[in-house]
Amino acid sequence: MALFGTDGVRGLANGPLTADLALTLAQATAVVLGQGRIAEARKAAGKRLTAVVARDPRISGQFLSAAVEAGLASSGVDVLEAGTLPTPAAAFLISDVDADFGVMISASHNPAPDNGIKIFARGGVKLPDEVERRIEEAMSGEKLRPTGGDVGRVSRFSDAEDRYVLHLLASLPHRLDGIHVVVDCANGAASGVSPETFRNAGARVTVIGNDPDGLNINDGYGSTHLERLSAEVVRVGADVGIAHDGDADRCLAVDAEGRIVDGDQIMAILAVAMRDRGRLHHDTLVATVMSNLGLHRAMSAHGIRVETTGVGDRYVLERMTEGGFSLGGEQSGHVIMSAFATTGDGLLTGLHLCAEMARQRKTLAELASIMTVFPQVLLNVRGVERTRAGDPDVLAAVAAAEAELGDTGRVLLRPSGTELMVRVMVEAVDAETAQRIADRLADVVRG
């Protein structure tokens, strides 16, 4: 099985993801990303390559980041140790200091025992599949072994957080004065920087999930557990709630009544606002095949085209880069604003969402009403081969379901890329119809 998944290398820390693996992966990264015109020119000028390394607050991040830094420095790479910061902060800093690449130690929304290693190329962009393949191959090859003064140095990136906060504040079209926001930091990487940034932007801030102990990341808090955020928004009478995941590359929201506003609704709000300000390039939004039919209808009503990609923010970003588009993302809350970020950024997204509330002087519920969410049922049919999705009986059942729904719904069958499973997704005008058709299709997939 390939080492890299859809978002870096991920697994149980000290299970499959060991310090040895982290060190070897870092050494291989130095070999592969140390090639190329710019890197070769730096080395020819007698300069060492530079990498930014950051992590989320998982306890295992301490030994994994130490292993990564050792692997890089032993390969002649200078390391800027940024400490605990969100993934999008690491991506921004790579570009901001013109580093050659960077590494983020995080398992995002996964529970605390897991961890992961995400590698970013120059400019803070995620690696193409081909480069990841070359790094994996290089793990069994010759490593760089400089000696004496040619080994890398590890130094503290002392103003890393300040640089990121100033960048976020400079991106805002409007201050947040008058907005009361509850921020749920998921006991993760945003626990320090997110409340500070919202306050600096003018908001009144109440914070939950901001007491990380290395073991409680994503545990009952954050974008995968919105119940506490909804209750706190209602309890304190706040205008909006913003939820991050463990590494803060996601943003989901709740309105003043505690109702969830998902990534599709957030993208709809931002797309129309950006279009009205002339900032939505080519009047196009990039979304994945999992985005709600209601998003497509809302965008069509506002003269905005939607381009769809496979699931994963890396594929959204690839299409955005190819087409020169400025906004894209996923229903899960990965939202990419390419004028300011090279990856999903939960702080950036939440700040801009609140800025639209302040600028338009509307509640989040009023802004979110731009889109009608179609009921969506997602069933995971486990224990079946991915080829089952292309079986003639399954295809016939899908065609029958699509004919029944017409233009009032949508069907999507998607084999899992990592598990023996086929996902069945059905949208319809009412939840009962969506559930009935999804159950029927799942039975056919099971055979």
- Same domain as 438, residue 364: no
- Same domain as 274, residue 141: no
Structure token pair of residue 198: 């919202």
**Among 403, 409, 404, which residue's Cα sits nearest to residue 429?**
409
- Same domain as 281, residue 405: no
Question: pLDDT band at 285, cuts 50/70/90?
Answer: very high
Any domain includes 1: no
Task: Give the E-state strand segments of 162-233 in sequence order.
Answer: 180-184, 204-208
**Res 44 pLDDT > 80:** no
Whether the pTM exceeds 0.85: the reply is yes
Question: pLDDT band at 418, cuts 50/70/90?
Answer: low
Catalytic, out of 60, 75, 108, 194 = 108
Domain boundary among 368, 385, 408: 368
Cα gap 119→8, rounded to integer Å: 7
- Same domain as 145, residue 170: no
Question: pLDDT band at 208, cuts 50/70/90?
Answer: very high
Q: What is the DSSP string of 114-135?
A: EEEEEEEEGGGEEPPHHHHHHH
- Same domain as 217, residue 145: no
pLDDT (tens digit, 9 = 90+) per residue, 55-77? Answer: 999 999 999 999 999 999 999 99
**Res 39 pLDDT > 80:** no
Any domain includes 270: yes
Cα gap 335→343, rounded to integer Å: 8
Examine the residue annotation and report whether 300 is marked as an active-site residue of this protein. Answer: no
- Same domain as 431, residue 356: no
Question: pLDDT band at 417, cuts 50/70/90?
Answer: low
Indicate the Cα dihedral angle 31, 36, 42, 47, nearest 10°: 0
What is residue 391's predicted lDDT score, i.e. its pLDDT? 86
CA 297 to chain centroid: 25
- Same domain as 315, residue 196: yes
- Asked whether 208 and 244 are in contact (CB, 8 A), the reply is no
How many structural domains does the chain have? Answer: 3
Structure token pair of residue 224: 């995968």
CATH at 18: 3.40.120.10
- Same domain as 352, residue 386: no
As a whole number, the mean pLDDT across the chain is: 94
Structural domain of 438: 376-446
Any domain includes 4: no
**Res 37 pLDDT > 80:** no
Percentage of residues of the chain with pLDDT beyond 90: 85
Any domain includes 182: yes
Domain boundary among 93, 124, 158: 158
Domain boundary among 312, 336, 368: 368
Any domain includes 56: yes
Cα gap 25→74, rounded to integer Å: 12
- Same domain as 274, residue 171: yes
CA quadruple 266, 269, 270, 275: dihedral positive or negative? Answer: positive
pLDDT (tens digit, 9 = 90+) per residue, 245-255? Answer: 999 999 999 99
Lowest mean pLDDT among 114-118, 133-137, 161-165, 402-406: 402-406
